[in-house]
Chains A and B, each alone.
Chain A
């Protein structure tokens, strides 16, 4: 149940970027009542806010531990193309209607896939993501604040289970 709520907030926080870029492109001013910078800044805060909220929710997910890893690989960069894709979509759509359709479609797919997915908003909170292979050759996706270079002596004592392949490390 909680995992579903987390997924919802995480998906919203990811796809809001499309809305933010669209609004910036269109230069919304609400009939010149608000300066476009304020609108953009406000939306940016909301987007990061949703990311923070989803991050906060992970506190209540199931606790896990990992004692031994055999392989680890940095994965931050592999998500950049995806986000560039979102930005291109946002710049490319001509009107509000198409933007909404694109956002909803992407949200639904993201929500359904939800498999080893990294929210770039987490980068603002100091999180990085790694592909980790455990001693039983289980492939995991781990989001954590650590900077990891070698799987030797790599242990995670307070992971939270986002889903069976994705985990986030956080304090008690």
Chain B
């Protein structure tokens, strides 16, 4: 049926607007076959090659674009894109068969490059070729029928949907300090909140959320569980000694209860990716 492509263009001074790029007769984006089997977003999950995360009730979220909330798509509402806009594109949005496809376009993807064009036997060289290459699959796909946003990597779409990274954000400096001040943690070897890097900051944001949900008894159960799996963390005062990023990571994994033992062979393992079986098929708890 064809695709209508618009681009979000920034002026560099914080103002952005949409520009009409083109309408093609052929479909530009490919609709993945297995969107229906998507998982509810979970920062602890690592997706297989052809899996997608799905975010339900997307149009009610604060970070949803007004473009998606109006319910229909008229390309005449957008001015045509000009050559001056090249290099200032933030993302492309394609409307195709009732779906919206989003692709992030980083500045490095839109520099004028030297290129050789291939047309069968004749090739052409171009000094300043302004073009954008598209991915096989879009970074995000919005289905208005299901009101669901499908995506694979949160990092890729955080520039498209402003504020969506609240789904998996880094803990603030205060939150990190707060976490390290918990009475079950003992810092040693001069380890402070300054030493905590991005990945652990994200894990801390999640762990604080998890701890908030635990009752005192549940906390004690989890601490016993961590001591069982990571005896090297526990010290004589029945606290956890954190002396580097790695020990902090192991404690945070413990709070998320990612350690488990196989029923046969009793092998102790760490779950690298976590997908809740209760939520599979989009049934949120």
Contacts and interface: CB of A to CB of B under 8 A. Distances in A.
Contacts of A66: 74-76
B80 interface: yes
B76 A62 contact: no
B76 A140 contact: yes
Chain A facing B: main interface SS: strand
B74 A134 contact: yes
A136 B77 contact: yes
Contact of A65 (B22, B74, B80): B74
B6 to A, nearest CB: 11
B23 interface: yes
Given A161-B80, A164-B79, A164-B80, A62 B22 contact: yes
Interface string A49-68: 00000000000001111111
A64 B19 CA distance: 12
B76 A167 contact: yes
A66 to B, nearest CB: 5
Contacts of A68: 72, 74
A138 interface: yes
A152 interface: no
A167 B77 CA distance: 11
Contacts, number: 47
A134 B76 contact: yes
Contacts of B72: 67-68
Interface in B57-90: 70, 72-77, 79-80
A26 interface: no
B80 A159 contact: no
Which of B22, B77, B79 has the most chain A CB within a 10 Å cutoff? B77
B20 interface: yes
A132 to B, nearest CB: 9
Contacts of B2: 63
A135 interface: yes
A67 B23 contact: no
A81 to B, nearest CB: 27
Contacts of A138: 76-77
Interface in B1-15: 2, 4
B20 A159 contact: no
A106 B156 CA distance: 52
Interface string A134-172: 111010100000000000000010010101100100000
A126 to B, nearest CB: 22
A67 B75 CA distance: 9
Contacts of A63: 2, 4, 23, 75
B76 A135 contact: no
Nearest to B23: A63
Contacts of B20: 62, 64, 161
Interface string B75-115: 11101100000000000000000000000000000000000
B76 A65 contact: yes
A158 to B, nearest CB: 9
B74 A62 contact: no
B23 A62 contact: yes
Given A65-B73, A68-B74, A140-B76, 10 more contacts: A62-B23, A63-B2, A65-B4, A66-B76, A68-B72, A134-B74, A156-B76, A161-B80, A164-B79, A167-B76
Interface of A: 62-68, 134-136, 138, 140, 156, 159, 161, 163-164, 167
6 contacts: A62-B80, A63-B2, A63-B75, A67-B72, A138-B76, A167-B76
